[in-house]
């Protein structure tokens, strides 16, 4: 827990707020980590623009990281789908080439 009042408006407090916001902490949880009420934490955000900026930047950084991960997953799925389609087509063409033509199988 970070000490109250004397350290919340320092670089250390701003870095802590950035890190917590990036980790997805709620306002209530951040306030608890600072050892203050939600109302006090909101007051700090209004009073100290650097605190507000730290929280916003942390959330934006988290959103960017999530977006990058999702784009990576999407690209991976697309590659795997293309690979799966190629393998399926290769298997089908191999089976069609290996299967002898059916003759005399017609119903009388």
Answer whether residue 2 is part of any domain: no
Residue 102 lies in a domain: no
- pLDDT for the residue numbered 27: 92
> In the chain, pLDDT over 70 holds for what percent of residues?
75
The DSSP secondary-structure symbol of 19 reads H
Count of CB atoms within 10 A of residue 40's CB? Answer: 15
Q: Is residue 106 part of a domain?
A: no
| Domain that residue 79 falls in | 11-96
Q: Which residue has the higher pLDDT, 101 or 73?
A: 73
Cα of 50 vs its chain's centroid, Å? 25
Whether the predicted pLDDT of 3 surpasses 80: no
Which whole-number Å values give the CA distances from 92 to 48, 62, 77, in the listed order? 66, 44, 22
Is 4 a member of any domain? Answer: no
Number of domains, the chain? 1
What tokens were used for 105?
Answer: 């199988």
Place of tokens 């009388």: 108
In a domain, 18, yes or no: yes
* Mean pLDDT of the 3-10 span: 65
Asked, for residue 5, whether it belongs to a domain, the answer is no
Domain assignment present for residue 103? The answer is no
Q: Where are the alpha helices (DSSP H) in the chain?
A: 11-22, 27-34, 38-47, 49-98
The verdict on residue 75 lying in a domain is yes
Residue pair 41/8 in contact (Cβ under 8 Å)? The answer is: no
Place 94 in a pLDDT band, splitting at 50, 70 and 90: low
**Could you give the angle at which helices 49-98 and 38-47 cross, rounded to 10 degrees?**
100
What is the Cα–Cα distance from 23 to 38, expressed in whole angstroms?
18
């Amino acid at each position: 827990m970070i000490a109250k009042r004397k350290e919340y408006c320092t670089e250390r407090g701003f870095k802590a707020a950035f890190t917590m916001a990036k980790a997805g902490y709620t306002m209530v949880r951040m306030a608890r980590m600072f050892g203050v009420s939600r109302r006090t934490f909101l007051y700090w955000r209004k009073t100290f623009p650097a605190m507000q900026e730290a929280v916003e930047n942390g959330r934006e950084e988290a959103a960017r990281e999530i977006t990058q991960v999702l784009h990576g997953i999407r690209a991976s799925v697309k590659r795997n789908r293309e690979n799966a389609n190629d393998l399926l087509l290769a298997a089908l063409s191999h089976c069609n080439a290996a299967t002898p033509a059916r003759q005399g199988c017609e119903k009388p």
